[in-house]
Structure 1
């Protein structure tokens, strides 16, 4: 059984992390049991939905048949992700799961993947992000699992390190911001270091070889005493080199392998790109290119449908934009040749119906009707008819005299 510890800053059930999951899963022997620890979000009303989406993601995108569980005994592969770090810790420390996780890593056995909230718990101390950011508690640390300490790394893990959702206020460093993280750093035990994992980024630790690789879109920041070093995606170091960075206050640089893989777009970036392409096509005007931008937006929504974190608005916000763009296609149809527009619009409608998005497909049919194209669904498929011309109400003749 391989010994891997994978820590993710975010994006654990998104397309950006698919290759990281697949690489870890390839190391498993046939028939290995795969477990999803739902503890961090088990208190949420939509916990069952989060688990279902995660299971679909691992089954269809990674090729793992995952069971939802509250324990890890006998599992070759263990995953835990979003939710509340402190809620998870309370239950893991009180149930024996914490000891099981420590034993897996210490014995260098099995694949253990901890992401987002669960990644917070992996260090010697944990960021209580809900309590500080949501409830206004004073900055403080909670106990952590200390998974890296057997390898000489006294570190806290801070996911969402480069978060920028705050806009006008600082939400970096797992929503702490610089002011609060600086204060909390001074309260860490002597020699402890912050390992900051950017969003859609993973630290893959080979426990047997004692090597580490940064994968994904961002980097790993080693921060201590006001100094920091950043290992970019693609960097490969030994744990001894990582310890050297930590012990030297991150003032020296470890040798790294430069990135080789092309950076994948997040959902937010993909949605923004589709929106800009639509705007450019509408300005020309080019209805076919505009319709293609909507089709590509729908494809991105399908790709990201299993994402459980829903960064920056998530899939629902993307769907809202798609509805808006479909409405704008109707405006383009009024000024463009309907013949050029009909085919891509009907293709889009067929894709929407195939995905079960009947509400959006119906909205598109209404747009087509306004543009002069009536669509009737038959057993043989959609059938196009010219829409009946709109009739202005007749004005009664003026009475003489």
Structure 2
């Protein structure tokens, strides 16, 4: 009998706040202590302070999840062709050791470019298929989609609307996902709609039309997490906001405490709009 892949926590934002604590607690609660957590540095690997970004997350885990006695190590898979190359065995080693791997803020397209086809990513996939637990927040959640939203390129640089091929973590399980964190972002205030991960509803509607019709959009509000449990075949919503599943102009929304079948991410049968 083949075991199910490990559960995955997808976090819209707030990985070092209450929502993150809830997501990690749900993800790790059945593991023996101490829990071994590896933090993947790739999403912010282009930043001079990439190590500091990862270590702040490690500090959060140790200080706010003491019941798990977190043993934290780092995966410095920052850039191809350097001492931090994701193909270097010493870089990959913490993935072999971990009970759970986390990746978070940074650039989704950078993460895709640096990890696609590498030893780090391949080993993570192999271990996940054997039960390794995964947590992806913000940029990393986008990067593991089938179609990844190039946030910086569109929002900061003004590139033409497009999607890029993501790492497609769930593709082998027959999911075709575009994961969109920061779904309800309001940083733009009254003057600028920054919902839908800074795209705004009008621009995001145009982006949706560029996706193949079989694509399912998984929108995750800020300070909200969606826990995918493949052994049980269900997803749970944690945190302050809502998880939205949208496909072909139809959608479902689920708030904290709600549970829905993972099969819903493959087919939608409702008439609510995006």
1:150 aligned to which of 144, 163, 172: 172
Match of 1:132 among 148, 154, 166: 154
* Equivalent residues of 2:18, 2:239 under 8 A apart: no
Bigger drift between 187-196 and 234-243 goes to 234-243
Seen in structure 2, the aligned counterparts of structure 1 residues 180 and 73 have a Cα distance that, compared at 3 Å, is farther
Asked if 1:21 is matched to 2:24, the reply is: yes
Q: State the partner residue of 1:226.
A: 249
Alignment partner of 1:11 is 2:31: no
* Higher strand fraction (1 or 2): 2
What TM-score does the superposition give when structure 2 sets the normalisation length?
A: 0.84
1:361-400 Cα offsets, whole Å, 9 max, x none, are xxxxxxxxxxxxxxxxxxxxxxxxxxxxxxxxxxxxxxxx
1:21-43 deviation digits (Å, cap 9, x = unpaired): 12322222345532000111122
Query: Is the 1:79–1:114 contact (alpha carbons within 8 Å) kept by the matching residues of 2?
Result: yes
Equivalent residue number for residue 61 of structure 2: 58
4+ runs deviating over 4 angstroms: none
Partner of 2:203: 180
Q: Distance in 2 between matches of 1:104 and 1:228?
A: 33
Query: In structure 2, what is the equivalent of residue 90 of structure 1?
Result: 113
Match of 2:271 in 1: 251
In the TM superposition, 1:157-196 aligns within 5 A as 157-167=179-189, 168-196=191-219
Whether contact under 8 Å (1:4, 1:108) holds in the other structure is no
Deviation at 1:223, TM superposition (A): 1.5
* Structure-2 change in CA distance of 1:92 and 1:21 (3 Å): same
The structure whose Rg is larger is: 1
Q: Which has the higher helix share?
A: 1
Q: Given the two structures, how large is their TM-score scaled by the length of structure 1?
A: 0.58
Q: 2:73 aligns with which of 67, 74, 89?
A: 67
- CA shift, 1:225, in A, is 2.4
Deviation of 1:241 (Å): 3.8
Compare 144-153 and 81-90 and name the one that shifted more.
144-153
User: 1:124, 1:143 within 8 Å by CA — same for their partners in 2?
Assistant: yes
Structure 2 spans left out of the alignment, 5+ residues: 78-91
The runs of 5 or more residues in structure 1 that have no matched partner are: 253-401
